[in-house]
Structure 1
């Protein structure tokens, strides 16, 4: 067990290191000196856009061993100029959360348990139900014969983790399908 040296006393360290006010090297512990930032050990930095809202703040994503280790604001972004809101700052957790679902889960009507499905089967199920709902609830004209060309059996709700482009494409898809009930989580 090593003994604490008189030379390591804070006041002595301040005078010895040329930091009389104790605002720099004199108050930095050895443990702090040994720490390296996650950003300095990253293999590469990828520019991205925050996925949470429609603002489109720029992000710098630090990747090491093909895993996201840190996300910071992008100073080159003309929109956010290096700033991120609390959700954008925590978006690293969106990718690295241990409870993140990585497979499709399906629960049949009246079933108690979830079952795993492959992505192709789940996509086909959604498409079949979408087409069937559109076909069964299509309204071509109203009682006076005016053109409606809509369906009230399909509604769309955009999410806050989708970016502008994804929400735009979803709105175009649902509008083309005849849906008129479209909303976004950001407005609710």
Structure 2
């Protein structure tokens, strides 16, 4: 390419010739930029959701095409966030579609140095067995003064801010039924 050809295609020169000093008009466009469009344009469904990152509950719009998420944006109709998302909420799309997201249960055997994939059912069974074993081993019918307590201090729970009121209610019911008294949520800390 000759030097003069490159110079005449230079965007600043196009802007000056067209009087587009801010570079916001057609002079800023390229062949590639003219073919770009929002990922939301090709969506076949849009569902309302709530951001999973904290207890604020910002509204999100989840755009899908053929059952796959194509974009996640703030919901302008949300009375809480009015279409705005913090950096964590704005990154939800990458969180749910990112190639580095772990999609399998990983388990490292006691004393092991490597992680191995195990089925979800096996992991859930391991958790249930360990909860029962710990509860049985640390169960107290009475405290040191003889007061009836029916509890275990061997298990505690610290919930995350992504849990909603209904989930926290169910967790509290489950743990109370198990005799777990150390139940807290990080939103209070």
Structure 1-normalised TM-score? 0.83
Q: Given the superposition, is the C-alpha separation of residues 80 and 53 from structure 1 closer, same or farther in structure 2, using an over 3 Å criterion? A: same
Aligned-pair CA distance for 1:161: 4.1
Taking the aligned partners of 1:113 and 1:22, their CA distance within structure 2 comes to 57
Q: For structure 1, which runs of at least 5 residues remain unmatched after alignment?
A: 15-19
**2:84 alignment partner in structure 1:** 83
Taking the aligned partners of 1:144 and 1:127, their CA distance within structure 2 comes to 31
Aligned-pair CA distance for 1:81: 1.5
**1:17 alignment partner in structure 2:** none
Taking the aligned partners of 2:85 and 2:75, their CA distance within structure 1 comes to 9
Q: Given the superposition, is the C-alpha separation of residues 71 and 143 from structure 1 closer, same or farther in structure 2, using an over 3 Å criterion? A: same
After superposition, residues 29-48 of structure 1 pair within 5 angstroms as 29-30=29-30, 31-48=32-49
1:71-101 Cα shifts (integer Å, max 9, x gaps): 1111111222211111111111221121211
**1:55 alignment partner in structure 2:** 56
Aligned-pair CA distance for 1:38: 0.9
**2:25 alignment partner in structure 1:** 25
Taking the aligned partners of 1:62 and 1:46, their CA distance within structure 2 comes to 7
SS at match of 1:80: coil
**1:177 alignment partner in structure 2:** 178
Aligned-pair CA distance for 1:23: 6.5
Taking the aligned partners of 1:51 and 1:9, their CA distance within structure 2 comes to 46
After superposition, residues 107-186 of structure 1 pair within 5 angstroms as 107-186=108-187
Q: Contact 1:51–1:163 at 8 Å: present in 2 too? A: no
1:47-69 Cα shifts (integer Å, max 9, x gaps): 11111111111100111232222
1:102-157 Cα shifts (integer Å, max 9, x gaps): 11111111112222211111111111111111111111111222121210011112
Q: Higher helix proportion, which one?
A: 2
**Cα-Cα RMSD:** 2.5
Taking the aligned partners of 2:135 and 2:97, their CA distance within structure 1 comes to 38
Taking the aligned partners of 1:93 and 1:161, their CA distance within structure 2 comes to 17
- Over 4 Å off, 4+ runs: 1-8, 20-24
SS at match of 2:130: helix
